């Protein structure tokens, strides 16, 4: 496959090619189709759409973006949220009392609540005018994909190169290549002692195909291949791949051999009827930032089983080079250094090494590129979602900010096409720069809190959280705040 420019006239040129069929790419496609832009295509490297990812929390800002993109998509997602059952005509079911509102509490080691937030839709709606929806990532992807005609989404096309020309952009892809684990995706749990390749296997036969488009929306995730190509020879190579955030999690999905005494203590002091709780040592005697930023989440799996996740600043090379037993020892050391009670060490010691995983968190830091005017806009291509600003999931804003990206970038693309601007490179640059100028300041603010550790490690007071949430979750679509000045 040639890496040089290809100026041969293609047989078909899409108005918009969207690389990546995750929720952000699909939402962008839905927004365009909803507004009459039909000459589009979504391509994705997955050979088949399968159940991957963890639970996604869509918060008021993300839901508002979805409702603006397509009210039908909003209703479908609301109906698919976890904990919602289909209505029944049974009088018995109608007479059932409403379940108590579940809250996610952040507690200290004495069991005192440091802060908390509700997990149900209505509590968020009552406060911010829009709710909260939790659903598996695959379900979100499926709901959005089902709103698109099947011919608009093409799987098994991994993009390996992008080339700009005066009149269009060319995207080269390979097919039938074996898939590999993406270690940068925050849902990929790595077994202790494993270090997967960051590039797909290519020992199987690959079939090359070229796509041509006037515009390319790059939504291929935090380990975006297109981003790496776009950043070449622009002084941005250092930032082409995601950076390690400094934080990682050591987890065990299921400890089912804990004695009743430990289970009883965890229930009465910490869980107190909840499915999940996050704990930290808020003692003033901790003398290192690492200890202050360590937290432990407990997840109730069943009456006799608990899952846990230890999140802390960890050196990545130490983690990746550790055997399963050494990862457990590392978890024990982290707990001791952070002053956690012996009961937590007992839980880790009772964990089966083969059930222990680790997850490093990566980020595309915006603040590090403050002096670069344009980091998401490159000719006829524009980055969105995790490809633009991937971040650890501590604030549950990755998907939500990506959906806001989709709402904004699709708005400017629609206006550009309606103004017959697809052959005007200045108009394209202006549209993409407006998108970046609107979205970048808020992303930088969100990332700043994530990187500092203040938000994810409970160093903000309840008042600080409330003030930030007011700014974040009351953003309306459409408005000059979220979409800028159109026209």
pLDDT tens, position by position, 42-54? 999 887 776 666 8
According to DSSP, the β-strands at 133-136 and 169-175 are unpaired
386 vs 365: CA distance, rounded Å = 11
68 — pLDDT class (breaks 50, 70, 90): very high
166 vs 7: CA distance, rounded Å = 9
List Cβ neighbours of 371 (8 Å cut-off, separation of 6 or more): none
458, 280 Cβ separation under 8 angstroms? yes
253 vs 42: CA distance, rounded Å = 34
Name the region of 333 (left: φ>0; alpha: ψ -120 to 50; beta: rest): alpha
200 — pLDDT class (breaks 50, 70, 90): very low
Closest alpha carbon to 23 in 473, 291, 406: 406
191 — pLDDT class (breaks 50, 70, 90): low
Q: How many residues does the chain have?
A: 487
200 vs 220: CA distance, rounded Å = 14
Q: Indicate whether 380 pLDDT > 70.
A: yes
DSSP state of 176: S
274, 256 Cβ separation under 8 angstroms? no
Of residues 102 and 418, more confidence is placed in 418
Task: Look up residue 144 and give its two tokens.
Answer: 């959005």
354 vs 352: CA distance, rounded Å = 5
86 — pLDDT class (breaks 50, 70, 90): very low
Of residues 61 and 10, more confidence is placed in 61
The pLDDT score that the predictor gives to residue 196 is: 47
Q: Indicate whether 66 pLDDT > 50.
A: yes
29 vs 217: CA distance, rounded Å = 10
Q: What is the mean pLDDT of residues 40-66?
A: 88
97 — pLDDT class (breaks 50, 70, 90): very low
H helices present in 254-315, as ranges: 260-265, 289-292
Q: pLDDT tens digits, residue range 208-237? A: 799 999 999 999 999 999 999 999 999 999
Q: What is the mean pLDDT of residues 301-307?
A: 94
The pLDDT score that the predictor gives to residue 17 is: 99
366, 443 Cβ separation under 8 angstroms? yes
DSSP state of 357: E
335, 296 Cβ separation under 8 angstroms? yes
123 vs 373: CA distance, rounded Å = 40
153 — pLDDT class (breaks 50, 70, 90): very high
List Cβ neighbours of 464 (8 Å cut-off, separation of 6 or more): none
- Chain centroid, CA 392 distance in Å: 8
- The neighbouring-strand residues paired with 363 are 243
314, 293 Cβ separation under 8 angstroms? no
According to DSSP, the β-strands at 103-107 and 276-279 are parallel
455 — pLDDT class (breaks 50, 70, 90): very low
The pLDDT score that the predictor gives to residue 85 is: 45
CATH-assigned architecture of domain 245-362:
2-Layer Sandwich (3.30)
The pLDDT score that the predictor gives to residue 433 is: 97
Domains 14-83+99-104+119-242+364-483 and 245-362 share a fold: no
464 — pLDDT class (breaks 50, 70, 90): confident
Task: Look up residue 257 and give its two tokens.
Answer: 């051999």
DSSP string, 79-146: HTSTT-------HHHHTSPPPPPPEEEEE-TTS-EEEEEE-SHHHHHHHHSS--EEEEHHHHHHHHHT
The pLDDT score that the predictor gives to residue 485 is: 85
For the chain, the domains span 14-83+99-104+119-242+364-483, 245-362
The pLDDT score that the predictor gives to residue 181 is: 55
Closest alpha carbon to 249 in 180, 306, 334: 334
In angstroms and rounded to an integer, the radius of gyration of the C-alpha atoms of the chain is 23
262 — pLDDT class (breaks 50, 70, 90): very high
251, 358 Cβ separation under 8 angstroms? yes
According to DSSP, the β-strands at 14-19 and 169-175 are unpaired
The pLDDT score that the predictor gives to residue 136 is: 93
Q: pLDDT tens digits, residue range 321-342? A: 999 999 999 999 999 999 999 9
438, 482 Cβ separation under 8 angstroms? yes
- Of the candidate ranges 44-53, 161-170, 207-216, 373-382, the one whose mean pLDDT is the lowest: 44-53
Closest alpha carbon to 472 in 397, 367, 389: 397
CA geometry: angle 70, 395, 301, nearest 5 deg? 95
- Of the candidate ranges 62-71, 251-260, 281-290, the one whose mean pLDDT is the lowest: 281-290
Task: Look up residue 303 and give its two tokens.
Answer: 């009456």
364 — pLDDT class (breaks 50, 70, 90): very high
**Any idea which residue has 């000045």 for tokens?**
485
180 vs 188: CA distance, rounded Å = 11
Q: Indicate whether 4 pLDDT > 70.
A: no
Superfamily name with CATH number, domain 14-83+99-104+119-242+364-483: FAD/NAD(P)-binding domain (3.50.50.60)
- Of the candidate ranges 1-10, 16-25, 76-85, the one whose mean pLDDT is the lowest: 1-10
H helices present in 165-233, as ranges: 225-230
Q: What is the mean pLDDT of residues 119-124?
A: 94
């Amino acid at each position: 496959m040639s890496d040089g420019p290809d100026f041969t006239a293609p047989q078909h040129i899409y108005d918009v090619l969207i690389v990546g069929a995750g929720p952000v790419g699909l939402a962008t496609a839905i927004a365009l189709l909803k507004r009459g832009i039909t000459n589009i295509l979504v391509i994705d490297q997955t050979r088949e759409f399968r159940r991957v990812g963890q639970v996604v929390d869509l918060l008021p800002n993300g839901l508002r973006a979805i409702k603006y993109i397509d009210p039908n998509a909003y209703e479908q997602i609301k109906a698919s949220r976890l904990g919602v059952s289909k209505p029944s005509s049974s009088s018995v079911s109608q007479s059932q009392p409403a379940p108590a509102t579940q809250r996610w509490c952040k507690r200290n080691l004495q069991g005192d609540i440091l802060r908390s937030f509700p997990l149900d839709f209505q509590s968020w709606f009552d406060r911010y005018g829009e709710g909260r929806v939790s659903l598996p990532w695959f379900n979100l992807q499926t709901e959005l994909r089902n709103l698109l005609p099947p011919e608009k989404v093409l799987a098994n096309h991994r993009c390996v190169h992008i080339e700009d020309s005066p009149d269009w952009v060319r995207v080269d892809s390979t097919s039938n290549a074996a898939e590999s684990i993406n270690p940068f995706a925050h849902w990929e749990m790595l077994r202790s002692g494993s270090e997967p390749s960051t590039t797909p296997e290519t020992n199987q036969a690959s079939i090359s195909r070229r796509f041509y488009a006037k515009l390319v929306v790059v939504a291929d995730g935090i380990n975006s291949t297109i981003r790496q190509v776009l950043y070449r020879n622009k002084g941005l190579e250092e930032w082409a791949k995601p950076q390690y955030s400094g934080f990682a999690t050591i987890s065990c999905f299921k400890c089912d051999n804990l004695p009743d005494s430990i289970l009883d203590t965890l229930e009465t002091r910490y869980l107190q009827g909840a499915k999940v709780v996050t704990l930290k040592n808020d003692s003033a005697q901790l003398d290192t930032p690492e200890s202050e930023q360590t937290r432990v989440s407990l997840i109730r799996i069943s009456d006799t089983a608990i899952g846990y996740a230890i999140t802390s600043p960890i050196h990545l090379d130490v983690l990746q080079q550790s055997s399963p037993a050494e990862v457990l020892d590392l978890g024990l050391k982290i707990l001791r250094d952070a002053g956690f009670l012996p009961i937590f060490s007992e839980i880790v010691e009772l964990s089966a090494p083969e059930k222990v995983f680790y997850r490093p968190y990566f980020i595309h830091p915006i603040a590090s590129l403050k002096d670069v005017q344009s980091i998401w806009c490159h000719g006829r291509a524009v980055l969105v979602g995790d490809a633009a600003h991937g971040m650890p999931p501590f604030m549950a804003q990755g998907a939500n900010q990506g959906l806001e990206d989709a709402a904004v970038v699709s708005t400017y693309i629609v206006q550009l096409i309606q103004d017959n601007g697809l052959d005007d490179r200045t108009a394209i640059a202006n549209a993409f720069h407006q998108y970046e100028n609107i979205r970048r300041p808020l992303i930088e603010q969100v990332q700043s809190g994530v990187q500092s550790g203040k938000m994810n490690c409970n160093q903000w007071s309840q008042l600080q959280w409330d003030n930030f949430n007011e700014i974040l979750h009351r953003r309306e679509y459409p408005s000059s705040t979220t979409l800028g000045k159109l026209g």
